[in-house]
Amino acid sequence: MLAKLKTYSLLGIEALPVEVEVDVSPAGLPKTVLVGLPEAAVKESTHRVERAIVNSGFQRPQNRIVINLAPAELPKQAASFDLPITLGILAGSGQIASDRFERYAVVGELALDGSTRPTRGALSMAMSAAEQEGVFGLVVPSSSAAEAAVVEGIEVIPVASLAQAVGFFTGEIDIEPTPSRLDVLFRELSAYDLDFSDVRGQEMAKRALCVAAAGGHNLLMIGPPGSGKTMLAKRVPTVLPDLTAVESIETTRIYSCVGQLKPGQPLLATRPYRSPHHTISDAGLVGGGSKPSPGEISLAHNGVLFLDELPEFNRRTLEVLRQPLEDGTVTIARALSSTTFPADFMLIAALNPCPCGYRNDPRRNCHCTVPQIERYMGKISGPLIDRVDIHIEVPAVPFRELSGGASGTSSEQIREQVSATRQIQAERFRDAPTRHNAGMTHRQTRRHCTLDDEGRNLLKASMTELGLSARAHDKVLRVARTIADLDHSESIEPMHLNEALNYRMLDRNLWT
C-alpha cells in the first residue's frame, strides 16, 4: 500500500517542499529502504521510527518498506522527517487512514517513546507552507508551535506525541490551531536591559553613535583599554528603531534555522547584537560549510555586529566583509549550488591606538616604536577602512566624570532623535529600496547631498589634505546628510560637513 505526505527540508534558511512516499509491500524478510539523498540524521531516523511506533502502541510492519523523499536530487538533512515517515508507515501498512494528508504538511522529530521534539527552521517551514498551493495547515511539535504560528494565513497544529498526531489525522481528536500572538510577543520581548545612561562621560562618542544609528552608518572607535568602547557598542541596539514585524520575522528565521532561538522566545523582538571572538574563521564570520549555514554577519542581520580588537582578527577573515558591507547580502558558492543569506547589519569596530594601547594617553607612557605602530595599524586594509563611514577617538574617562552624580545622555533621548531622523529618511526614500542614508546609491547621493560653494571648497580642500577616495568622498556626504537630518535642515550646511569630516580620523595619519 502506498502513502504520500507533505513535509519540508531546510536548505540554508529556505524551506523547500518535499513529498514523503512510503510503500509497504509483502516480503520474506522485513526490511526498510530509505532513498532520496538522506543525510546521516535522516538515515538514522528508521531506528527511531521503529521504536516510536512500537512504544506508542502500534505494530511495526513485518514487510518490506521503501521510503522515498522527493525530489531525489535535493539533499535531506535534520531529523524533522521522523513524524511524516512514521505516519506514512502507519498509513501504508493500513493501521490508519486519513483524508487530511493532502491538506496538512507534517514536520517533527520523534523520541523513542513517541513524544515530539523541537524542529529547527519551523518558522521557515510555516512560511513555505503558507505559500504552497493546496496546503491549509502545518502539523508541528508542540514546542515549535508558537514559533511557526508567527506566520499568519495558515493553521499551525501542535502535537505532543505520535499518538496525538495519529488522532488528529484520523479525526478522532480535534486540535485547536495555535493562535498568532505577534502583538503580545512584541510587548513582552521588546525591552532592553542596557541603557546609555550607564556610560559616564564620552558624550562626543555618544553623539557619533547617534549619527551612526540615525543614518545606518558603520563606525570605528579608537581608544585605550577601559575607555568604554565595548560598553558603548553594547548599547547601540537600544537606540535603533524598534524592529518591524517583517524585520523581526527575517531575523528570527535565521536564528531558528541554526537552532539559536532561546526557549520561550519564539520571536526576536529586539535588535540582535553579535560580538564574535577575534579567532573566528572565515566560515564562522560570513557563513559556509559543505551545506552552507549562516555566519555571524547573518545572525547580526537588522542589528549590530561588533568586532572588538579589530587588528587581532585574521586579515583574510576581515577582507571577506567587503562585499556584504556594500550589498547587505552574502552569497556562499559551492560546486553544486549557491546560497544567499541576508546580512544587512551595522558594523561597529574597536581598536587600540597601538599594540600596548596607551599611545596619546596623558596618564600612561607608550613604549611602542613607529614601525610597531605601523605594523599594528597595517593589519587593517585600506579598502576595509574605506567602507567604514565614521572613525572616532574614545579617550580615557577622567575621574571627575566617573565619580560625578549626574547621569549622561540616556538611550531614550538618543532614540527620539534617531527615530525622528529615520522618519525623514523614510519619506525621502519612500519610492526607492533604500532605507537610510548610508545605503544611498551614487546617483541618490548626488541628488540629496548637494553643497553650496563654501561646502564644496571645504570638501575639496579636505580631499586634497586627507587623500580621500571616491568612496570616502561619498561617505562623507552621506554622513553630512544624516547630521543635517538630525538638525532638521533641508540642506547640508558647512557645519554639518565639517562634523562629518571630523569623523574621518584614520584618514589623517595621526598614528605614524
- Average pLDDT per run of 10 along the chain, which is 512 residues long? 95 94 90 92 92 96 94 90 97 95 96 95 96 96 95 95 97 94 86 89 92 96 92 95 92 94 90 96 90 93 96 91 91 84 95 88 86 87 87 87 75 94 94 90 93 92 82 92 96 95 74 44
Q: What pLDDT is stored for residue 416 in this prediction? A: 95
Given a contact cutoff of 8 angstroms between Cβ atoms, the answer to whether 469 and 481 are in contact is: no
Q: What is the pTM of this model?
A: 0.91
Q: Are 232 and 209 in contact (CB under 8 A)?
A: yes
DSSP 161: B
Q: Which helix (H) or strand (E) holds 339?
A: strand 338-342
* Structural contact between residues 125 and 9, judged by C-beta atoms closer than 8 angstroms: no
Which whole-number Å values give the CA distances from 421 to 21, 44, 417, 480, in the listed order? 55, 54, 6, 13
E strands along 165-253, which residues?
219-222
Per-residue confidence (pLDDT) for residue 405, from 0 to 100: 63
pLDDT at 412: 93
Is there a contact between 135 and 154 (Cβ–Cβ < 8 Å)? yes
